[in-house]
Amino acid sequence: MDMRKRKKVKLSYSKERVLFSDVLPYECPIIFSNRYLYRFLTKYLWVREKGGNKETLLKQKKRTDEKDVNAFVALLFGCYDHNKPIGDLKHKNNALFYPYQFNIAHKPNKNRTLSIIHPYNQWQVVEFYERYKYSILYLCNQSKYSLRKPHKIAQYFYYRDRLHHKLSGHENDKVELFFKEYENLKTYFSYEKYSNIYKFYEGYRYQRAEKKFKHLMKFDLQSCFDSIYTHTISWATAGGVDKVKVLPNYHGSWVGDAFDHLMQSVNARETNGIVIGPEFSRIFAEIILQYIDQKVEQELFKKNLCQKSTYECYRYVDDYFLFYNDEKDRDLFIETLTKWLKEFKLQISPSKTEEFERPFITKVTIAKQRIEDLLNDIFSIPLWEEVESNLGTEKDEDAENENWDKDREILNKKFNIYLSANSVNVQIKAIVRECGIEYRDIANYLLEKMSQRLDSFLNRYEMGFKKYERLMSKEDTNKEQVELLAQRAQRKLTSYLVSLIDVAFFVFNSNRQVNTTLKLQKIMNSIVIYAKRRGDFKSNPEIRFQTISKDIIFKKIQDEIALVLITTDPHRNTLHESLYLFILSKELGSAYLFAPKVIKSFIEKSELQYNLFACIILMYYYANHKCYDEQKSLLKKEISKKYRFVAESERKRNAELTILTADMMTCPFVDDTYKQSLLKLMGITETKDQQMIIRFAKKQKYIFTRWTKFNLNKELQAKISQEVYS
């Protein structure tokens, strides 16, 4: 991304900003975030009071005159006794908390289980970062192998709204208001050296290594996060398991012990495996792997194998790249690494080990090059038979208005644009088959490139179409001719976009994952924003589509989403990916809401489990639409039923029930009586406490889910900026 076109925003320091970037999995639905939890915690400032060795006592330090907030935070943090009035906010230090776990599609017939930790645990992570941030930076900068590691505390973020501020018409929203401080911060720390593994493939280190070495071995660790034993963090930070064993009554280092305790606290005191999804888990693994890196490099150096001389090794999280010339060097490296991994109960995955000889080019790389060629054919077609250099570069608005004669030239230009969806889909299938890859190898890449190219394409179209707009304001213009040409261009663009929608959904259906869902939403969002500028061009030259054209585009998107819902198979682990498209569907407007029978069929066919995300997405979609009264009544019953599957004493420490209850308190689509019934199920039985919580929640408006006034465009910009390694 061109740095000159991005907005640089200075970050003032706030310890709670950890909540934005390092706590939630990237794969959460786009209406769900920690933005309002952050605002809540910074507004009222909860701090730890001395509570002894057995418990932690919390005190409110700001706005202490607002009494209702105590009741709400008691619900949020689980700081209350079951069936008793809410009193002091305290927790036993050894309390068990259960994360909310959900499955997403990962590989064919295989899912990945991600976790959202309890809100109280999220506050604990904030406190941990505040206390140990510099220790984390030190421990994560010990390895010469690591390609992705915390380098310093982030001080800036960069933002570019791409073409949307131009295409969306006259929105008055301020970027600065939406991006208040750092509410869309990618990570708490700045990272070296690569934010995405594909940047390594395209970077200097990879190219240089290919010049120096004949062979490349790629491999990763088997079930890395599931295999990590939490106590090993103390071994890594203390200097090894032997150091821990020889010191009486010593189990590691202060930061190691604290991190071990935290990882157990967020995961029901489990020591085998760590929660998957949050960034702090990747940092936990990085500290351990950096220690192993150090030991491997030191041992090899003693045997005359030197990094960047005899061999080069790079590690991106748990993916390894070993460049070498001599097979004996490779074998010694693997033998040494295996030994140190075993000490930390980790091992190399033999099924994912690949060997390459120069040139180091994979089947996927070849496929991506062919995709680039295909996208050039789709998006680089000339518009209005123009000279590309004239329309392909942005100009100052004053400069565009200088020469009216150049605007008139477009009246003699033929508008050429056509796309055959079937032909493109066949070419994509041919690339997959001929390159010997799978759709999952390229789907995310292809949709992302389509999104980028579409934005550029619409920019070019916009600059050309503005000539029609300016001509309509000039008195000596044949307005009927201009209107006729403009409408012809609109019709051809409509047909083109309908075909593009077909291609995008074809790619998505080939590999339904959360990443591809978001990329699909980006593409549809660009189209929807542009298509919403519809109406009568003659009376309003700023219009880009006739109403009928907008309807054609929206109906195509609705039909494609409906097809996804119909074909959602409970055995393919793609339920969340399908559910997330309800958010896109709602963006089309009330005229394009699905009939109740369509949703009922989806729920039955997909064998929907009413987990946290299913509940909030369906409630968001139903809202207060009368046509969904029956469905919403059923949903409320299913939500209430969830509580009965968890022991009463454990509900307040169950992340799913706590988050769901807090969200329902802020939800404007359910009544107070229902909210009180949920609080009673959570063990908050005093009417006074219930009323305080509900009253405060109405004032707070949101805590996790953005129920109303949702802006898909801006949320997508924020979400995509947070994309983690893949």
408-446 confidence digits (pLDDT tens):
777 777 788 899 999 999 999 999 999 999 999 999 999
Q: Note the pLDDT of residue 708.
A: 97
186-199: b or e for each residue (b if 16 or more CB lie within 10 Å)?
bbbbbbebbbeeee
Q: Note the pLDDT of residue 642.
A: 96
Q: Note the pLDDT of residue 50.
A: 64
Q: Note the pLDDT of residue 389.
A: 46
Give the CATH class of 195-357.
alpha beta
For the chain, counts of helices (H) and of strands (E): 32, 13
Name the stretches of the chain with pLDDT < 70: 1-13, 50-53, 65, 156-186, 241-253, 385-405, 534-539, 541, 571-573, 721-726
> Domain locations in the chain?
3-192+710-714, 195-357, 363-608
Q: Note the pLDDT of residue 71.
A: 94
Strands across the sheet with 55-60, in order? 46-49, 55-60, 90-92
Query: Omega into 211 within 30° of 0, i.e. cis?
Result: no
Distance CA 96, CA 537 (A): 63
Residue 303: CB atoms within 10 Å: 12
- DSSP symbols for 347-384: -B-GGG-EEEESS---HHHHHHHHHHHHHHHHH---ST
Q: Note the pLDDT of residue 91.
A: 82
Residue 273's contacts (CB-CB under 8 Å, 6 or more residues apart) are 225, 226, 227, 228, 267
Distance CA 21, CA 7 (A): 19
Q: Note the pLDDT of residue 547.
A: 86
Q: What is the pLDDT of residues 72-104, one digit of tens each?
A: 999 999 998 887 888 888 888 788 899 999 999
Residue 278's contacts (CB-CB under 8 Å, 6 or more residues apart) are 22, 23, 24, 25, 115, 117, 125
User: What global pTM score does this model have?
Assistant: 0.90
To which H or E segment does residue 505 belong? helix 479-510
- Which letter does DSSP use for residue 253 in this model? -
Q: Note the pLDDT of residue 387.
A: 41
